[in-house]
Chain A
Amino acid sequence: MDLKTGGKTKVKSGFDVEKIRKDFPVLSQKIYGKLLVYLDNAATTQKPACVIQALERFYTSENANIHRGIYYLSQQATHSYEGVRTKVRQFLNAREDREIIFVRGTTEAINLVAQTYGKAFLKKDDEILITTMEHHSNIVPWQMLCDEIGTKLRVVPIHDSGELILEEFEKLLNPKTKFISVVHISNTLGTINPVRKIIEKAHARNIPVLIDGAQSVAHLPVDLQALDCDFYAFSGHKMFGPTGVGVLYGKAKWLEAMPPYQGGGDMISSVSFEKTRYNKIPYKFEAGTPNIAGVIGLGSAIDYLNGIGLDSIHQYENELLSYANQALSQIKDLRVIGQAKEKAGIISFVLGDIHAHDIGTILDHEAIAIRAGHHCTMPLMDRYQVPATARASFAFYNTRAEIDALARAIQKVKEVFS
């Protein structure tokens, strides 16, 4: 296999994948003497050198706490940190910087909304609508809220293809529906949901919508003003940034009306034992010293993505997906779970009666990293009546040659179990 040529055929988009691969130090690494083939990008993405350097630079020469120091270093750190807020706003075309809240990741973002918006604006017997293909992080926070205040969880079913049944979605909408939380791209099926349409239908009934964007921000262009969603949540580490940092976007009108999530420093404007005043947004939701270095690393990841362009990334990953679909369709007994018309570069599959973990172990032996299991979507596994799937998920640094290697390794799995 010649990874250097980036595959047999030149890709249509003219994307220079070989140049891009050089930006990712981890990709030149050998595992068991073989060049790493990293196909677990839906779990986390690798980091370009610029992100790694941004973290090092911050701790080497800029480290100070933000929003409080009167000295040079603290002002620099504050400037860098707040600069990323603007960068995120521009990246997603949000209206205002103050609508961008830094959190630990998608999970924390959704918990924040469930615990603050949920407790302030939802009441017993109100219905919260999610879908069958949600990640546990967009199921459990709502179940916890239901336990606490007596709201009810309703679930939009899906077709076998992995697409939402939109007629059922509309049927489920009723006067009790008070919140909708939907995944943009399914981490298991790769389905790109028609979120624009869902938001329109919801807004026609004045129902706010949260979009779980964990799998989308790094793979297709997202325009929050065009989408008009009320909340949007995503993680830095799935967009080539550091772990432990993420973003909750919320419309200012909601964020201002919502109570704080956690109490502590930075989220207050004054504290006495009799009366505490909360800070304005976004600071009201950023209690304590945040992940400053992580935010700065996230900023660097956004610069990197902008340098390539989300349109090019989306196009290249689409080509990879078609190539992979073609390659895997040649393998007898391989069944792809999730065949939506609109799909991102995520392929879940089962292979005859061979268990996903056996596939994972054998592929690992070929230095191919994939995910095997339920992908934090156990209700979805139940829907398809499979205990687990194997999942290959792509990023723009993956090549056709790597997909060929994947297909060959799957054949090897079949040989072992023949």
Chain B
Amino acid sequence: MLELRELYQELILDHNKNPRNYHALEHADHEAEGFNPLCGDRIKVFLQMDGDKIKEIGFQGTGCAISKASTSMMTAAVKGKTRQETEEIFNQFHLLVAGKKIETFDQNLLGKLAVFSGVREFPVRVKCATLAWHTLRAALKGEEGKTVSTEIISTEWEAG
């Protein structure tokens, strides 16, 4: 059995307690919302682009330690990166937490994000770790108004 500490590593607990870039951006030119209704995790990611580069990034929201730390560490990892670089980091991150087999990872690309390697042993928590990244991807695509989820999403009903 995997030890709990492999999932809840110090760095993850630290980012959960003291999330970095935890604020809205006044001059955001891209934003998107991520919501996992079953968990109750809800985050909003704000971007300010400089051409193809992420100049500023911030987030707000509530969630479990894994989703919050993942979002916090993501913001630190992608600041100053191009769209292409961001996508490459996401691909590595996804393989790390949800890959089918033990792949070799590009440690240079992952950097500190490698602390999330324990998540793959907790399949129900993968969606917590990836919510931030799917939300970031939606923000980069300019999919505002659409809510991203790593759970099943449904249509809505409004009181008539």
**A residues in contact (CB < 8 Å) with B:** 32-33, 140, 143-144, 146-147, 150, 152-153, 354-358, 361-362, 365, 373-374, 378, 381, 386-388, 416-417
Instruction: Select one of B42, B66, B157, B159 contacting A358, CB under 8 A.
Output: B66
A319–B18 Cα distance when bound, in Å, is 42
Interface centre among A144, A358, A362 (most CB of B within 10 A): A358
Is the CB of B79 closer than 8 A to any CB of chain A? no
A144–B13 Cα distance when bound, in Å, is 43
User: A147 contacts B157, CB within 8 Å?
Assistant: yes
> What are the 10 closest A-B residue pairs judged by CB atoms, nearest first?
A387-B40, A388-B40, A355-B64, A357-B64, A32-B1, A143-B157, A358-B65, A358-B64, A387-B62, A373-B38
Which residues from chain B contact A356 at a C-beta distance below 8 Å? 40, 64
User: A373 contacts B157, CB within 8 Å?
Assistant: no
Q: List 20 A-B contacts (CB under 8 A).
A: A33-B1, A144-B157, A146-B160, A147-B160, A152-B160, A153-B159, A355-B39, A355-B63, A355-B65, A357-B125, A358-B8, A358-B66, A361-B7, A373-B38, A373-B39, A373-B40, A387-B62, A388-B39, A388-B40, A417-B13
Instruction: Select one of A147, A361, A374, A416 contacting B122, CB under 8 A.
Output: A361
User: B160 contacts A150, CB within 8 Å?
Assistant: yes
A387–B37 Cα distance when bound, in Å, is 9
Is the CB of B4 closer than 8 A to any CB of chain A? yes
B2 to chain A, nearest CB (A): 9
Which residues from chain A contact B16 at a C-beta distance below 8 Å? 417
Is the CB of B89 closer than 8 A to any CB of chain A? no
Which residues from chain B contact A362 at a C-beta distance below 8 Å? 4
Contact indicator per residue, chain B 141-160, by CB within 8 Å of chain A (1) or not (0) = 00000000000000001011
Residue in B closest to A388 when the chains form the complex, CB atoms: B40
A373–B122 Cα distance when bound, in Å, is 17
A356 to chain B, nearest CB (A): 7
Instruction: Select one of B4, B13, B128 contacting A357, CB under 8 A.
Output: B128
A32–B42 Cα distance when bound, in Å, is 31
User: A357 contacts B160, CB within 8 Å?
Assistant: no
Residue in A closest to B157 when the chains form the complex, CB atoms: A143
A374–B125 Cα distance when bound, in Å, is 16
A365–B39 Cα distance when bound, in Å, is 19
A42–B66 Cα distance when bound, in Å, is 27
A373–B125 Cα distance when bound, in Å, is 13
A146 to chain B, nearest CB (A): 6
Interface centre among A33, A355, A378, A386 (most CB of B within 10 A): A355
In chain B between 39 and 95, which residues have their CB closer than 8 angstroms to a CB of chain A?
Answer: 39-42, 62-66
Which residues from chain A contact B125 at a C-beta distance below 8 Å? 357, 361
A416–B10 Cα distance when bound, in Å, is 10
Interface centre among B13, B39, B125 (most CB of A within 10 A): B39
Which residues from chain A contact B37 at a C-beta distance below 8 Å? 374, 378
A391 to chain B, nearest CB (A): 13
Which residues from chain B contact A146 at a C-beta distance below 8 Å? 160
Say whether, besides A355-B65, A357-B128, A374 and B40 are in contact (CB < 8 Å): yes
Which residues from chain A contact B41 at a C-beta distance below 8 Å? 355, 357, 387
